[in-house]
Structures are given as structure tokens and as C-alpha cells.
Amino acid sequence: MTQAPNFQGIHNFRDYGGYSAAGGKVRRGVLYRSGQHVAATDGDLAELAALDIRTVIDLRGIAEREMHPCRRHEGWAGEVVAHDGSTTSSPPHMDIGPEVTTADYARDRMLQVYTRMPENPAMQAMFGRYLHALADRDGASLVHCFAGKDRTGMAVTLLLHIVGVSEDDQVREFLLTNESPTFHILRAQSIPVMEKRLGRTMDEASVRAMLDVHEDYFARFHLVARQTHGSLDDWLNQAVGVDDTLRMNLRDKFVA
């Protein structure tokens, strides 16, 4: 895991390269992921500038982007790939109501998020745009959403799947989110809003259920894709538009 420990306002940033894949290893220094950059400090922006990220895939919907506009460093001339409408009604981990009373209930709500995500047309479109942007554009890229854990987590694992990374390593990458040293940033951006919506203070177990990721979240996404299309690869082909040419281009570009 390549973490950026000096980031003061960006949660869950890391390079998701380095895994063994079919024919080699996933390249490092070109594939980055994180949460939103709305609270990025000037120092954070300077560190990002040094990475020469030329493409940002923002998986948030338009209302989220307008409410939480991301900061970019001065002179950044890259492209932001985003959806013109909504990708979800709210950040998935914040899609809660007053009935969320226990950690088990909170986890069940998150499982519902991962049940809906594979069948959400906006997310299918954005997963496709993310993969095509990786294949078509030069230089380093960064994919993010609000927290960089749910929508971003699944986007990243789809790319790793396509290039031949084992499912064990896909899960390992997905769960690295729980080890991020910047959890306090996500907590500050999320919990006050959740508690206002709930009308009470959340216990720590419920906080972690909403803000962490779990292997059963990953498994639920894959189960729904298989149930609706027969296999994850068929779902990628039919729902996301990943054909053999795109697969080959991604493997050629990111595996060395």
C-alpha cells in the first residue's frame, strides 16, 4: 500500500498498482484512488501536483459535486470525467434514516447499497467511462467519490479483475481502506451530518459499520452481477460495455 501520510484533507489516498496480474504486475505511479478533495490543503495540492495526474474520474453525482467542489492545484490542465446527473441519492455510506439504530442494521443498509450499485444505470455508465478513460488517456489518473471506499472501491476492483489480478488481491485492495491513517478526515466530513439526520449520537460500532468496508460488501456486488448476468465478465460486457478490445488495451497498458 502506497499511502500519502502527509495529506491533511484528503482521505484514503493510495496507488492501487503493484499487484500480480496475468503476465506481470500492475504498474505503479499511474493509478491512484482517494476520497473527495473538497478539504484538500495547499500542501495536499502541491503533493498531488508532483504526481502529474492528468485525468480525474469523479464518481459523485452532480449534486454532490456542487455541494462539495473539489480543489485542484493552480495550473492543473487535466480532464475531469464525471456524470451529468446523479449516481446515487447521496454518498452511499450516508444513505441512512432515523431507523438506523444498531451496527448490524447499519451494515445491512450498506449491503443494500452494494445490491443496488451493479444495477444502477448511472454507475454502470460511470464504471464504463472510468475504464475507457484509463485506456484512452495518457498519464496518471485518479478515481474518487465522496469517501473513496464504495463506488471507488468497486471501480478499482473491476479494473484489477480485468487485468488479471486474483480475487484474493482484489479483496485485499478493497479492505485496505480500513487501514487508512486519514480516517479522521472522513469521520469529520460524515458523522456530524449523519448524527444530525439521525437526531442522536452514533455509537462507535455503527460509525465503523458505515465508514469501513467489509468483505461481504464486495461479495454482495459480485453476487448481484452474477445473478443478473451469469458472471461478472458477462455483466462487464453487457452492462458496462467492456469488450475484448478494451480488456486487451487495459492489460497492455497497465500490466508490465
* Position 130 pLDDT exceeds 50: yes
Give the list of residues 6+ apart from residue 35 with CB closer than 8 angstroms, or none: 10, 11, 12, 13, 144, 145, 146, 147, 148, 149, 152, 185, 186, 189
Of 205, 113, 41, whose CA–CA distance to 13 is shortest?
41
* Position 7 pLDDT exceeds 50: yes
Mean pLDDT of the chain: 91
CB atoms within 10 A of CB 37: 25
Please compute the mean of the pLDDT values over residues 180-194 and round it to a whole number: 91
Please compute the mean of the pLDDT values over residues 90-112 and round it to a whole number: 69
- How much of the chain exceeds pLDDT 70, in percent? 93
Per-residue model confidence (pLDDT) at position 89:
54
Q: Which of 19-23, 27-31, 56-60, 96-100 bottoms out in mean pLDDT, i.e. has the lowest?
A: 96-100
Per-residue model confidence (pLDDT) at position 51:
95
Of 155, 102, 105, whose CA–CA distance to 130 is shortest?
155
Give the list of residues 6+ apart from residue 17 with CB closer than 8 angstroms, or none: 25, 26, 27, 28, 29, 30, 31, 254
d(CA 173, CA 161): 12
Q: For the chain, which residues make up each domain, given as ranges?
A: 9-241+248-254
Per-residue model confidence (pLDDT) at position 2:
46
Distances (CA, A) of 209 to 173, 187, 232, 251: 18, 12, 26, 34
d(CA 227, CA 74): 46
**Reduced 3-state DSSP string for 94-116:** HCCCCCCCCHHHHHHHHHHHHHH
pLDDT tens across 133-174, in order?
A: 999 999 999 999 999 999 999 999 999 999 999 999 999 999
* Model confidence band, residue 203 (pLDDT cutoffs 50, 70, 90): confident
Please compute the mean of the pLDDT values over residues 30-39 and round it to a whole number: 97
* Model confidence band, residue 40 (pLDDT cutoffs 50, 70, 90): very high
Output 103 or 177, whichever has higher pLDDT: 177
**Helix (H) and strand (E) counts in the chain:** 11, 8
| Assigned superfamily of 9-241+248-254 | Protein tyrosine phosphatase superfamily (3.90.190.10)
Interstrand relation of 14-15 and 31-34 (parallel, antiparallel or unpaired): antiparallel
Residues 40, 10 contacting (CB under 8 angstroms): yes
Per-residue model confidence (pLDDT) at position 3:
45
- Spell out a b/e string for 184-216, using b for 16 or more CB atoms within 10 Å of the CB, else e: ebbeebbbeebeeebeeebeeebbbbbbbbbee
* Position 94 pLDDT exceeds 80: no
* Model confidence band, residue 69 (pLDDT cutoffs 50, 70, 90): very high
